[in-house]
Structure 1
């Protein structure tokens, strides 16, 4: 019984890990203000990126699962430190390059505001 449970947990972890690496479709979330101009809603973009790339390890509520709690990560790390972690990973399980380019900048700003 323990072998079956272990195999199930390992398989589930593998699937969740691979799901975190998926995505990559860039869907620009835009809204229009009363003046008729279009602006990117950075918070909505960051939440969408988080849901696609990060939630499988850090939990849908950011309170941690396999990865650490991120609800107050901005009080521990600066935007630049968070960006460095997103780009280069961190020993202990955070893979490098999971979020890149403009998405990494958006995520770093959003996470740095979590205090």
Structure 2
């Protein structure tokens, strides 16, 4: 009985471990560079789908602000949003991607 239980637990652990790794690798492979910067720096408040979580929705943000205005908001903050530490190529990729949303 104990061998059967150990075998079952090992099988479940291996199955769950394999599934988790595959999902994470696939999710980051298909991201545009700006979207990857967004997920690493902004998604915790604005959600991966831009719908907003703790922060406001960024759906249609590109129709409200220019790329330069988005860069200013990111680097200087706005309202309760603090300035973000995104610079250089990452800032360019992020603001370009957001301006297309």
TM bracket, shorter-chain basis: 0.5 to 0.7
1:52 offset after TM fit, Å? 0.9
Alignment of 1:3-82 (within 5 A): 44-82=32-70
Instruction: Give the SS at the match of 1:70.
Output: coil
Quick one: higher RCO (CA 8 Å, sep 6+), 1 or 2? Answer: 2
Matched, 1:101 2:80: no
Moved over 4 A (4+): none
1:88 offset after TM fit, Å? 0.8
Which sections of structure 2, spanning at least 5 residues, go unmatched? 1-27
1:71 offset after TM fit, Å? 1.6
**Which structure carries more helix by proportion?**
2
Partner of residue 111, structure 1 = 98
Larger-Rg structure = 2
1:98 offset after TM fit, Å? 3.1
Partner of residue 18, structure 2 = none
TM-score normalised by L of structure 1: 0.57
State the aligned residue count: 73
Which sections of structure 1, spanning at least 5 residues, go unmatched? 1-28, 30-42
Please give the root-mean-square deviation of Cα atoms over the aligned residues, in Å: 1.9
Aligned-partner Cα distance in 2 for 1:96–1:113: 21
Residues 19-48 of structure 1: CA deviation (Å, up to 9, x unaligned): xxxxxxxxxx9xxxxxxxxxxxxx611111
Matched, 1:84 2:72: yes
TM-score normalised by L of structure 2: 0.65
**Which structure carries more strand by proportion?**
1
